[in-house]
Amino acid sequence: MGISTTRIETETVPGEAISKERSVRPCVLVLFGGTGDLSKRKLVPALYNLLKEGLLPAAFEIVGIGRSAPDEEAFRALHREATAKFSRTKPLDDGTWANLAGRVHYVRGDNESPETYQALTAKLSELDATKGTEQNRIFFFSTPPSAFPVILAGLKKAGLLHSSHGPKGPFARVMIEKPFGHDLESARELNKMAAAFVDEDQIYRIDHYLGKETVQNILVMRFGNSMFEPLWNRNYVDHVQITAAEELGMEGRGKFYDETGALRDVLQNHLLEVLALAAMEPPVSFKADEIRGEKSQIFRSIRPILAHEVESEVVRGQYKGFRDEPNIAKDSKTATYVAARFMIDNWRWHGVPFYLRAGKRLEKRCTEVAIHYRAVPLCLFGRDEVCQRLEQNVLVLRIQPDEGIEFSFMCKQPGDDLFVSNVKMDFSYSRAFDRQPPEAYERLFLDTMRGDQTLFARRDSVEEAWALCTPILEAWQNDPGIPLYEYDPGSSGPTAADDLLKTTRHRWRPLA
């Protein structure tokens, strides 16, 4: 049963952080791994759309570093083809592409060789002199993490990593793709290593979920309305479910995924970041470090799952046929599904389970946060056990697809008898706004150019998230008794995940 909400035509309110600094500074974006998959599918298409919408600064140049394209023309051609295919806006606009292509440069070389950095330095000086890029540089590492130290050392040696000199001085910033480490120790080492080359205010650790409109809207919904916050605590909330379900399987990423698995790939970063936004206290202001400080508090309040609790608090699964995919070990124990129950030890959330689940090859693509409210204390319209079983009120923040928010509540069915039904109020982004939401990378590029780190993961939070996940990974590795459940592709995951919730008398929301 559906009731729709539409946008009320009122003035839009520019947020403080946005109105403060709309303008982005002139700069050069250097893409390490410029011929790789991420550059082709996401990064260059994002830049194309930013240019199309007039959001890039007039002085903006791109330098790709890679090996597979023989020269600049080939580099541009490969990105033209990829952007036509992967851009969110189609068909490719020739004028915009020609404008972007004129800003695209290429340095052919590998990350280890000093000549690459010499050639890059010469190119950057030339662009500063001819295009007015004012020695502002953003270095994007779209490479395996093993390449980070060598790239940072190469840039440092070439004198390209100058510290920030105030808001108007030249900047050098690095954007680093996940995975940021593969456990707590490696994340700490990576952070320590990065800190030897650049300051924390120069590091932009990407979690592309934070660039999604619907993820950012969690804070606007919580702190831009007075009616939700009083109900956002253990007095009213029974439990919270955070889901990232995917229909897709390996898509050619078998080698990476077999070493990674669902816990490292999605739960450690995307899901814990979303949990932090859903559970954090109101920040003092919308400034980057105020928000990141509150998120860090939440990570520190999450009760660690200890080795002996892993079997009862976490379920891992693998879809049937995973081991037959290319580049997957025939005896792989990699989890393609994970579900976990986390408790937050603070005043707001004490006793409220947060269930997180992520998986590949499930029945439906669905990412959402569902706040399940407590049942009414006394059932006036039916038998008590029916009331207790039926969830009267669930608030669902639909991250993707079908972006929106829905709220279910009880309603009297029309008629002279007293029958009640559960109905939904439904807000849909596509119905309320006529503008297509930007891709996450568009926002993340702009914020890096502005020097706004709000939507990037801070050093302490990355390590805290790994501290929560590492004991689980270790228990899986060291205790052969912890089961790895099989599930059918196209299902909602292993049935053991349902049992995980049954112990606390809950059940997962259906994916379909």
**Residues assigned a catalytic role:** 270
- Closest CB to ligand BG6 among residues 197, 441: 441
Tell the smallest beta-carbon distance from residue 415 to ligand BG6 (Å): 43
- Closest CB to ligand BG6 among residues 273, 406: 273
Contacts of 122 (CB under 8 A, 6+ apart): none
Site for ligand BG6 in 266-305 (CB under 6 A): 266
- Closest CB to ligand BG6 among residues 124, 266: 266
234, 350 Cβ separation under 8 angstroms: yes
Tell the smallest beta-carbon distance from residue 246 to ligand BG6 (Å): 6
How far is residue 354 from each of residues 278, 327, 349, measured CA to CA in Å?
10, 34, 9
d(CA 83, CA 61): 17
Helical (H) or strand (E) element with 131? helix 114-131
Tell the smallest beta-carbon distance from residue 207 to ligand BG6 (Å): 8
Cα 217 to the chain's mean position, in Å? Answer: 13
How far is residue 213 from each of residues 216, 428, 444, 485, 486, measured CA to CA in Å?
5, 13, 11, 34, 34
Q: Which of 272, 267, 269 is nearest to 317 (CA)?
A: 267
Residue with tokens 């302490």: 460
For the chain, the C-alpha Rg in angstroms (whole number) is 24
- Closest CB to ligand BG6 among residues 191, 367: 367
Q: Which long-range contacts (CB under 8 A, 24 or more apart) does 472-477 make?
A: 472/263, 472/305, 472/310, 472/314, 472/340, 473/183, 473/263, 473/264, 474/307, 475/307, 475/310, 475/311, 476/310, 476/316, 476/333, 476/335
Pattern 340-379, binding to ligand BG6, x per CB under 6 A? ---------------------------x------------
310, 247 Cβ separation under 8 angstroms: no
Pattern 227-266, binding to ligand BG6, x per CB under 6 A? -------------------x------------------xx
The structure tokens listed for 385 are 């056990």
Bridge partners (DSSP) listed for residue 30: 63, 139
Tell the smallest beta-carbon distance from residue 366 to ligand BG6 (Å): 10
Mode of pairing for the β-strands spanning 27-32 and 137-141: parallel
Residue nearest to ligand BG6 (CB): 265
d(CA 278, CA 275): 5
Pattern 70-99, binding to ligand BG6, x per CB under 6 A? ------------------------------
Q: Which of 177, 112, 159, 139 is nearest to 29 (CA)?
A: 139
Helical (H) or strand (E) element with 440? helix 440-450
d(CA 345, CA 448): 34
Q: What is the dihedral of CA 49, 54, 56, 57, to 10 degrees?
A: 170
Bridge partners (DSSP) listed for residue 112: none
Tell the smallest beta-carbon distance from residue 250 to ligand BG6 (Å): 9
Contacts of 419 (CB under 8 A, 6+ apart): 412, 413
- Closest CB to ligand BG6 among residues 368, 447: 368
Tell the smallest beta-carbon distance from residue 477 to ligand BG6 (Å): 21
User: Vertex 358, ends 355 and 362: CA angle to 5°?
Assistant: 120
d(CA 37, CA 58): 27
- Closest CB to ligand BG6 among residues 93, 247: 247
- Closest CB to ligand BG6 among residues 26, 33: 33
Tell the smallest beta-carbon distance from residue 249 to ligand BG6 (Å): 10
- Hey, is 477 helix, strand or coil? helix
Tell the smallest beta-carbon distance from residue 248 to ligand BG6 (Å): 6
- Closest CB to ligand BG6 among residues 133, 367: 367
The structure tokens listed for 431 are 């119905």
DSSP 8-state assignment for residue 385? H
Tell the smallest beta-carbon distance from residue 365 to ligand BG6 (Å): 8
- Closest CB to ligand BG6 among residues 265, 464: 265
- Closest CB to ligand BG6 among residues 128, 273: 273
Q: Give the count of residues interacting with ligand BG6 (CB under 6 A).
A: 4
Tell the smallest beta-carbon distance from residue 208 to ligand BG6 (Å): 6
The footprint of ligand BG6 (CB under 6 A) covers 246, 265-266, 367
